Structure 1
Amino acid sequence: MSFDLAPLAPYAGDLAAGARLTALACALALAGGLALGVPAALMRTAALPLARRVAEVYVDIFRNVPFIVQLFFLFYGLPEIGVQLSAFGTGVLALSLAGGAFSSDAIRSGILAIEPGVLEAAQVSGLSRFAIARRIVLPIALRSALRPLGSVFVNLILTSSILSAITLNELTGSAKIIAADTFQPFEVYALVLLLYAVLTWLVSLSAGALHRRLNRRIY
């Protein structure tokens, strides 16, 4: 068996488009996941039992239910109640909901790692709870949670391959079409494997570099 990439040359643009779609969906999902994960983490560490319970239910649902079930529910189930989303919108929403659940764990760990003396000093200074959360708790927690959040983003990239199940031609969806057209699944998926490896490596490298830069004065 020979490894021949020449027949795949005409499809290079399709693979690149799929990779761009994957990157865009995951970038939007990271932003959405943080928008959900930050308040969920704060609620899980709040003194109010109801707030903690609501956040825990959200996290448990989206962390413990298979992602493809969540995806199918949003794509096929929501239209039954009049909520119609595009495949791309559904994919971003599903990744955001799942990413929010996992990112809340990372941020919550960062919050719990804050020295009690820091919070006591902030309370003594007369700052409100909102000001303490915004100016002290979240900056420290997010800085310490950068590496775990990088892992969450890597997981979003890997999980995004399932979006092809709802007809979204991201990287894996494009690869399926190209493999069917060229009858060269080995070469096609070898390239896709490499592209996913590069994407996740870049994310891990960037997260590590940002973590070192922001924590340089501490360490």
Structure 2
Amino acid sequence: MRFDLAILTPYVGFLAQGALLTLEACVLALAGSLVCGALVAIARTSASPWLRRVAFVYVDLFRNIPFIVQLFFFYYGLPEIGIYLNAFATGVIALSIAGGAFASDVIRSGILAIDSGILEAAEVSGLSKRAIFTRIVMPIALRTSIRPLGSVFVNLVLTSSILSVITLNELTGTAKIVASNTFRPFEVYAALLVLYAAMTYLISLAIGLIHRRLNRDMMEAVR
């Protein structure tokens, strides 16, 4: 068999649409994951035992159930109780909830790593607990957590390939269609390997640049 990537030329635009849909779903899911993760991290560091238990159950549950099972539950299970979502919305919600379980650990670690002296100084200055949390705790926690949160984003991109099983034509879904049309799965999936590797590499590179920029700004602020 002769390896020939030229057969993909007519499908470049189609694959690009799939890649764009993947990135769109993952960016929305990242935002959802950050919201879920922040709320759960707040609950896990709260003084309320009840909130801590609920947050622990959420994290433990969604970290130990295969994502494809979660996805099937949202897409095929919820309609049975009258909740109907299209494939894109289902994918974003499922990724957000699953990603939130991982993001919560990252954000929680960032919260716990904050120097108690900073919090004491804020209290002495007369700031309310709410102001301390929103203006000091969360910004610092998110800034110090940027690199591990980047890993969560990369994982969302990789996990998004499973969304093709609910008929969403993201990158993997479009690749399946191209493979069935061309009868050349080797070239199609070789290209898919390269595309996912390129996407995750670029995301990791961007996260690294943001991390260094934030740290540089922090050091300049300290000086």
Instruction: Specify the TM-score bucket, using the shorter chain as the normaliser.
Output: over 0.9
Gaps of 5+ in 2: none
Distance 1:2 1:111 in 2: 55
Aligned to 1:206: 206
For the residues of structure 1 that align with 2:144 and 2:64, how far apart are their CA atoms?
Answer: 25
Moved more, 150-159 or 121-130: 121-130
- 1:198 and 1:156 map into 2 onto residues whose CA distance is 15
**In the TM superposition, what whole-angstrom CA distance separates every residue of 1:52-73 from its partner, at most 9, and x where no partner exists?**
1111111111111110000000
Once superposed, what is the RMSD of the aligned Cα atoms?
Answer: 1.0
**C-alpha separation in 2, matches of 1:18 and 1:218:** 38
Could you tell me how far 1:217 is from its partner in structure 2?
Answer: 4.3
Give the unaligned 5+ runs of structure 1. none
Q: Separation in 2 of the partners of 1:172 and 1:94?
A: 17
Structure 1 stretch displaced more, 150-159 or 171-180? 171-180
Partner of 1:89: 89
Residues 87-146 of structure 1: CA distance to partner in whole angstroms, max 9, x if unpaired?
Answer: 000000000001111111111111111011111222222222211110110011000000
**2: CA distance, partners of 1:194 / 1:65:** 29
- CA distance in 1 between counterparts of 2:50 and 2:132 reads 21
User: Deviations for 1:129-184, whole angstroms, at most 9, x for unmatched residues?
Assistant: 21111011001100000000000000000000000010111000111111111111
Question: In the alignment, is residue 105 of structure 1 matched against residue 100 of structure 2?
Answer: no
- Return the alpha-carbon distance in structure 2 between the equivalents of residues 8 and 198 of structure 1: 18
- What is the identity percentage for the equivalent residue pairs of Structure 1 and Structure 2? 69
In structure 1, C-alpha distance between the alignment counterparts of 2:49 and 2:144, rounded to whole Å: 26
> Aligned partners of 1:76, 1:206: CA distance in 2, in Å?
36
In the alignment, the residues of structure 1 paired with residue 160 and residue 32 of structure 2 have an alpha-carbon distance, to the nearest angstrom, of 14
1:61 aligns with 2:58: no
Could you give the per-residue CA deviations for residues 8-38 of structure 1, whole angstroms, max 9, x where no partner exists?
2111111111100000000000011111111
Aligned equivalents of 2:100, 2:49: Cα separation in 1 = 20
**2:127 paired residue number:** 127
The 5 Å alignment of 1:18-167 reads 18-167=18-167
Figure out how many residues of one structure are paired with residues of the other and give that number. 219
How far apart in 1 are the matches of 2:111 and 2:211? 16
Q: What residue identity is the alignment partner of 1:190?
A: A
TM-score for the superposition, normalised by structure 1: 0.97
* Per-residue deviation, 1:218: 4.3
Which residue pairs with 2:182 in the alignment?
Answer: 182
Residue identity opposite 1:108 in structure 2 = R
CA distance in 2, matches of 1:24, 1:127: 38
Q: Distance in 2 between matches of 1:50 and 1:203?
A: 37
TM normalised by structure 2 equals: 0.96
Hey, what does 1:173 align to over in structure 2?
173
Report runs of 4+ in structure 1 exceeding 3 Å deviation: none
